């Protein structure tokens, strides 16, 4: 479990570096000479590209995670993301090689997205399938804290460079955090290679029950469950990418505050996650996955307007409170419960694919596009009311999705008599 958490932290350091850089500097380096808003939208568009690649990563690596094992896939995704992120740090800017610069950036972002498409599912799944009875929610919620730790690392490394003079930051300062990604590879490989395969997968392999086509089996046998999980996953994307990506652009460009205000806010909010995510998972063991998740979606909807009102005060400490409320408390009630809830919806033979596909298609639709849509809506309406309304609507979709899922706290992933994890998903 700890190895899965550390590995997830290392991978999400890579992934969130891109989001931070896209919000703060990529418009100048890779899309210069445009209207500032066009440059911002272009930079956030490259951020979205990684999310469009994530469902394909979920399909590809989810397939192999169900076929050859969770551990092997997590080693492959680690290598893919570390190499792609390091190479981003050496891409020449638009002024040097023209359109080849953003083209290379997009290509490497796609590789990042393919790897990230299987990371969360694999990390949470490893912990859930290793968890002792009655503690699956707690165990499954610990690896996602690696996301927060990765963001902390990214923000901690990136923040000092944002304090450089603008010309130095734009020329070379932003590149250093990306180049440091190469250090992730040997550390991450050492950690991931020491992880044991899960008992549930080992049992399925030994009994010859693996399916050659996990995705087709899901689409044929569990389409409603897949759709419900996809809808449920919309809420966490709202509560993640509005405060962690779009808010960085809004704070700097619309409010005229220093870029470091946003990155410090990320540091604070993600530091709290180390506590709130496992707590949410433990609460889901006690009170049920659905009530805990739903409370987070409702809180996200209630904060949709106040979040921007707090940002608009222009006071750093108020901005940090707003980011923590949305990115930590609202988000983590959903993420902490989700970590065990999603694996409990699918049979072992298709579990990796089911979790990865449902989560990553939601991320592509609602996560990667949201910062871009947010910037466009704010520019078109001259305010944030339309964006806040959209956030509420997306949270309602998430509540509709989770209402049809089962509470699987009593399910066994390992056969001890009847195969309980083969029971069909049904609304409860």
The CATH number of residue 174's host domain is 1.20.1250.20
Q: Which of 9-23, 111-125, 257-271, 284-298 has the highest mean pLDDT?
A: 284-298
Q: Any idea which residue has 């750093």 for tokens?
A: 316
Tens-digit pLDDT profile for residues 187-204: 878 877 777 788 888 888
Average per-residue pLDDT for the chain = 86
Q: Please give the share of the chain, as a percent, with pLDDT higher than 70.
A: 93
Whole-model pTM: value is: 0.82
- Closest-CA residue to 281 (of 395, 122, 127, 121): 127
Count up the domains in the chain and report the number: 1
In a domain, 205, yes or no: no
**Band of pLDDT at residue 428, cut at 50, 70 and 90:** very low
Query: Is residue 187 included in any domain, yes or no?
Result: yes
Within-domain flag for 207: no
The whole domain housing 230 covers: 2-197+212-422
Distance CA 372, CA 118 (A): 23
- Residue 6 confidence (pLDDT) above 80: no
d(CA 74, CA 4): 9
Predicted confidence at residue 417, as pLDDT, reads 38
Give the pLDDT score at 2: 57
Please report the pLDDT score of residue 34 as a whole number: 58
Helix axes 289-311, 316-324, angle to 10 degrees: 160
Least confident range from 4-18, 115-129, 412-426: namely 412-426
Averaged over 345-354, what is the pLDDT? 91
In a domain, 428, yes or no: no
Phi, psi of 342 (to 5 degrees): -65, -50
Residue 418: pLDDT over 50: no
Tell me, yes or no, whether 204 lies in a domain. Answer: no
The larger pLDDT score, comparing residue 333 to residue 149, is at 333
Residue 206 falls inside a structural domain: no
DSSP state of 428: -
How many residues in total does the chain contain? 428
Secondary structure element (H or E) that encloses residue 49, with its range: helix 36-67
What does the pLDDT read at residue 36?
A: 67
The segment with the largest mean pLDDT, out of 142-146, 169-173, 297-301, 413-417, is 297-301
Q: Which residues contact residue 321 at a Cβ distance below 8 angstroms, ignoring those fewer than 6 apart?
A: 310
Please report the pLDDT score of residue 416 as a whole number. Answer: 47
pLDDT on residue 415: 64
State mean pLDDT over 52-76.
89
pLDDT at 419 over 50: no
Question: Which residues are CB-neighbours of 337 under 8 A, at least 6 positions away?
Answer: 137, 141, 280, 281, 283, 284, 289, 290, 292, 293, 296
In this structure, is residue 184 part of a structural domain?
Answer: yes
Position 116 in a domain: yes
């Amino acid at each position: 479990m700890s190895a899965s958490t550390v590995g997830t932290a290392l991978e999400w350091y890579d992934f969130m570096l891109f989001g931070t850089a896209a919000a703060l500097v990529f418009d100048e380096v890779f899309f210069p000479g445009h209207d500032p808003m066009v440059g911002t939208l272009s930079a956030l568009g490259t951020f979205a590209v990684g999310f469009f690649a994530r469902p394909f990563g979920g399909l590809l690596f989810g397939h192999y995670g169900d076929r050859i094992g969770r551990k092997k896939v997590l080693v492959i995704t680690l290598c893919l993301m570390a190499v792609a992120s390091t190479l981003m740090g050496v891409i020449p800017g638009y002024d040097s090689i023209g359109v080849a610069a953003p083209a290379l950036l997009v290509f490497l972002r796609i590789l990042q997205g393919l790897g990230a498409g299987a990371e969360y599912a694999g990390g949470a799944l490893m912990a859930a399938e290793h968890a002792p009875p009655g503690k699956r929610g707690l165990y499954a919620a610990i690896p996602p804290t690696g996301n927060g730790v990765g963001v902390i690392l990214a923000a901690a490394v990136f923040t000092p460079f944002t304090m450089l003079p603008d010309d130095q930051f734009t020329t070379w300062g932003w590149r250093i955090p990306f180049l440091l990604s190469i250090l992730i590879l040997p550390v991450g490989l050492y950690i991931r290679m020491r992880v044991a395969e899960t008992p549930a997968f080992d049992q399925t392999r030994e009994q010859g029950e693996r399916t050659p086509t996990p995705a087709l089996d899901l689409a044929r046998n569990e389409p409603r469950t897949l759709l419900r999980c996809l809808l449920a996953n919309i809420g966490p994307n709202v509560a993640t990418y509005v405060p962690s990506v779009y808010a960085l652009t809004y704070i700097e460009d619309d409010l005229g505050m220093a870029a470091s205000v946003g990155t410090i806010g990320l540091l604070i909010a993600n530091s709290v996650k180390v506590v709130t995510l496992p707590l949410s998972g433990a609460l889901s063991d006690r009170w049920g996955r659905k009530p805990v998740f739903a409370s987070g979606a409702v809180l996200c909807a209630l904060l949709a307007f106040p979040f921007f009102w707090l940002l608009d005060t222009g006071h750093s400490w108020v901005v940090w409170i707003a980011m923590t409320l949305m990115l930590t408390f609202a988000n983590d009630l959903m993420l902490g419960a989700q970590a065990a809830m999603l694996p409990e919806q699918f049979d072992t033979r298709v579990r990796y694919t089911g979790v990865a596909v449902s989560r990553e298609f939601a991320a592509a639709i609602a996560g990667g596009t949201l910062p871009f849509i947010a910037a466009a809506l704010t520019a078109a309406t001259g305010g944030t009311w339309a964006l806040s309304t959209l956030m509420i609507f997306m949270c309602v979709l998430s509540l509709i999705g989770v209402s049809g899922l089962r509470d699987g706290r009593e399910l066994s992933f390992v056969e001890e008599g009847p195969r309980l994890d083969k029971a069909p998903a049904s609304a409860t």
